[in-house]
Amino acid sequence: MNLTKKSLFIIVFSIIFLENSIIVFADIEDKENYAHQIIVINSLIAVIIAILVLFQESEDKNFHLKTRISVVLGLVCWFLANLTWAIYSIVLDVVPPVPSIGDVLWLSAYGFLGFHLVISFKKFRHRFNKKLISAGILVGSIFLGFMTYFTLTVSSFENMRGISMFIVLLLYPLLASLLLIFSIILQIGLRKDSHHAVPWMFDSLATLAIVVADSWFVIVVITNTVSDIWLSSLFISAHYLIMVAGLIWYSKYLTHKSETSVIHKCYNAIRKKQIFSLIGISIIALLIFYIIPNPLNISDNSQQHKHESEIGLVYAPTDFEEIVIGALLPISGTLSSVGESGLVTLSIAAEEINTYLSEIQSHYRIKIVAEDTETNPDVALNKLRVLKEKGVNIVIGPSSSASTLKLKDYANENGILLIGFSSTSPSLAIPGDNIFRLIPDDTNQAKVVSKKMWEDGIRVIVPIIRSDVYGKDLFNLTKADFEKLGGVVIEGINYIPPIGQFAASLNRINYVFWGQELITLNSKVKELSSEYPLNEIGVYLIAFDEIVPILSQANSHPILEKVRWYGSEATTKYEKLITNLESSIFANNSRYTAPIYGYGYNETNDEKLESYLKKYHDSDTEAPITFDGPYLYDAVWLAVLTKIQANNTQDIKILKRDFVNISESYVGVTGRTILNEYGDRLDSNYDFWTITHNETSTNRFEWLKINQ
């Protein structure tokens, strides 16, 4: 086959398109894992092809041997770096230190590849003119000047970690840009020699992909689109295949096979026995098919997120009348901890209810249809429409107040009863609507938090809050209560609630993203410290799961650790906050304190609660139980009992009437569920929790309940 530039382009970019489609069309919570896996595979392929080329001969043996060895070493470093990143992300689920082994390996590759460029530049220097070199240097200098300026604006230099982060962030695009400049100069200088120019053209494209990937954080920070950081992986995965294309061209036209080489002998052996060749190719194809979903052979739990409406909660035989209950859970996004735990709770409740219905010989059986809201109000509304089309008129959830507010009008207009188990915004306390909540609104939380801060000696608060209905309502209430006590609340930081799995992940880009907010917070605390003692300054954080990258990055600002931090119930007992070493150390040092609605949790002798907790912990899940799990459990029971009492009717008036009546007499794992005039839980009782060292190890932490 005569390999042409056009055919090689088509083949390579078709493969790139197919591979990247796996990442693009994957669920948001799976994108990062798939990206790591594909990048590891592509970098390994590049190493293998480079090694094969190394054993081929060429006219200028000394020159080509040096260049090929340097390319192999550079690609090996990149492969090991990618493997390191994958282990950090998929296996350990931690943010790599700065710098890490992965950084050292990746940056070392630039040294080997730079040597490859330098000796190539020397060999062909007579083909370049000074204008071309000057233009390349000018363009590169402008780009590097911009990157340096931007990196300076997003960096902190108060400690070695901040300095290290600045150096690492700058070195990546700087070194990649230098390679790109000289690659383009080589390609242009060799443009009349097609066989030499084509490999350098692919090399330039590959390096350009790396420059774009290394600079992607600029776009992310400017636009606040943390959820789109996965796009950089598309360029990185393409980078290796483009390099492979250049190596293939180089092997085809600039080398020749030695008749005595081991590679050539193997090639002839395979050619003579084509049947074995086909078998080998088939085996490799099967291995690749198996490896792509899971190349690191890691337990893949992502399937529980696929087709959320078919999560296995179907227990209704065909000869029984089916009661369908909907559930809107944040299985992905910044409340994914609630969604993952919620799936387990739904399964427990559904199995118990169907067993109970069977024992009393009821003709009903239940099915729960769960959908993923992605912690995104717009997605939540679309999923509610899906449930409506399926005939569902009782829906449990959604979890966030912002999503509930988005669904309120649609639910009222379409006769859908929403049962909240986590949403707490007072803005949703509206009499007569179709929203009922088994947890009190934040009015009382604001009072107890304000009181706690004042009793702890805090006299001025610096807030950092989600700029959504939940964050704004809770903050405004807390501000009013704290000021009544004589405290001061300054203008703080309102951040746009991030959307997507990466927003709360331990991806390193979060160091940059949250670093901007923390730089502002740091300056505010410094300014206050000239007027107030540090022990009278408190930081009030209202967040979801993004609290982990926030506290992890707060370590870069020593003064933030010297003031006391307080949080909201959404972060209390969040497991990842104590399993991540950096965030737990900061939380411990800053005496992070947060409330949690205590009804149920302080009734440890209650048999129903103990039974539910035992079944949860005996399940196969690795998802830690969240504070709202018991309320979700009770929500399922109340929804089913309401449908049974109303004879499975679609009449919303009857459903609302029966739900209120049943809730007045129902006693669940969270206790009595009596509602107030707004349809929210009447009783309210809060406990405070903090993070402390585990008794068995100074590097392990645990949540500890404290007295008010």
Which residues have a Cβ under 8 Å from the Cβ of 77 and sit 6 or more positions away? 105, 106, 108, 109, 112
- Asked if residue 316 has pLDDT above 50, the reply is no
User: CA 650, 651, 653: angle at the middle one, nearest 5?
Assistant: 145
Supply the pLDDT for residue 206. 82
Supply the pLDDT for residue 243. 86
Inter-residue contact 498 to 334 (CB < 8 Å): yes
- Whole-angstrom Cα distance, residue 172 to residue 184? 18
SS3 460: strand
Retrieve residue 654's tokens: 């009857």
By residue count, the chain amounts to: 708
Residue 300 vs residue 707, higher pLDDT: 707
Give 306-441+612-683's CATH code, choosing from 3.40.50.2300, 3.40.50.1400, 3.40.50.10860, 3.30.420.140.
Answer: 3.40.50.2300
pLDDT digits (tens, 9 = 90+) for 388-432: 999 999 999 899 999 999 999 999 999 999 999 999 999 999 999
User: How do 537-542 and 564-567 pair as beta strands?
Assistant: parallel
- Whole-angstrom Cα distance, residue 538 to residue 485? 15
Residue 567 vs residue 157, higher pLDDT: 567
Supply the pLDDT for residue 135. 78
pLDDT digits (tens, 9 = 90+) for 472-528: 999 999 999 999 999 999 998 998 876 655 556 666 666 666 777 888 899 999 999
pLDDT digits (tens, 9 = 90+) for 425-474: 999 999 999 999 998 899 989 999 999 999 999 999 999 999 899 999 99
Retrieve residue 357's tokens: 């219905």
- Whole-angstrom Cα distance, residue 538 to residue 456? 10
- Whole-angstrom Cα distance, residue 670 to residue 458? 32
DSSP characters over 530-544: TTS-GGGEEEEEE-S
Question: Which residue in this structure is represented by tokens 């405004």?
Answer: 476
Neighbours of 232 (CB within 10 A): 21
Counting Cα atoms < 13 Å in the Cβ hemisphere of 26 gives 26
Query: What are the distances in angstroms from CA 613 to CA 188, 594, 630?
Result: 68, 22, 8
Inter-residue contact 80 to 144 (CB < 8 Å): no
Which span out of 146-160, 274-288, 691-705 was modeled with the highest average pLDDT? 691-705
Counting Cα atoms < 13 Å in the Cβ hemisphere of 449 gives 31
Query: What are the distances in angstroms from CA 61 to CA 112, 170, 408, 463, 585?
Result: 18, 37, 74, 66, 56
Supply the pLDDT for residue 602. 41
User: CA 429, 434, 439: angle at the middle one, nearest 5?
Assistant: 45
Which of 651, 669, 683 has its CA nearest to residue 434? 651
Q: Which sign does the torsion angle of CA 445, 451, 453, 458 carry?
A: positive
For the chain, the domains span 5-256, 259-297, 306-441+612-683, 443-601+688-706
- Whole-angstrom Cα distance, residue 50 to residue 45? 9
pLDDT digits (tens, 9 = 90+) for 266-282: 445 444 444 444 444 44
For 443-601+688-706, CATH number? 3.40.50.2300
Query: Residue range 697-705: average pLDDT?
Result: 82
Query: Residue range 216-244: average pLDDT?
Result: 73
Supply the pLDDT for residue 508. 63
**In this structure, which amino acid lies at residue 137?**
I
pLDDT over 90, % of the chain: 36
**In this structure, which amino acid lies at residue 59?**
E
DSSP characters over 36-96: HHHHHHHHHHHHHHHHHHHTSB-SSHHHHHHHHHHHHHHHHHHHHHHHHHHIIIIII-SPP
pTM of the model: 0.72
The verdict on whether omega for the bond into residue 293 sits within 30 degrees of 0, i.e. cis, is no
pLDDT band (50, 70, 90) for residue 32: confident
Supply the pLDDT for residue 187. 65
- Whole-angstrom Cα distance, residue 31 to residue 503? 13
- Specify the range with the lowest mean pLDDT, choosing from 136-150, 265-279, 663-677: 265-279
C-alpha gyration radius of the chain: 30
- Asked if residue 78 has pLDDT above 70, the reply is yes
Identical fold for domains 306-441+612-683 and 443-601+688-706, yes or no, is yes
Write down the H helix ranges in 503-628: 509-529, 547-554, 558-561, 575-579, 581-589, 607-618
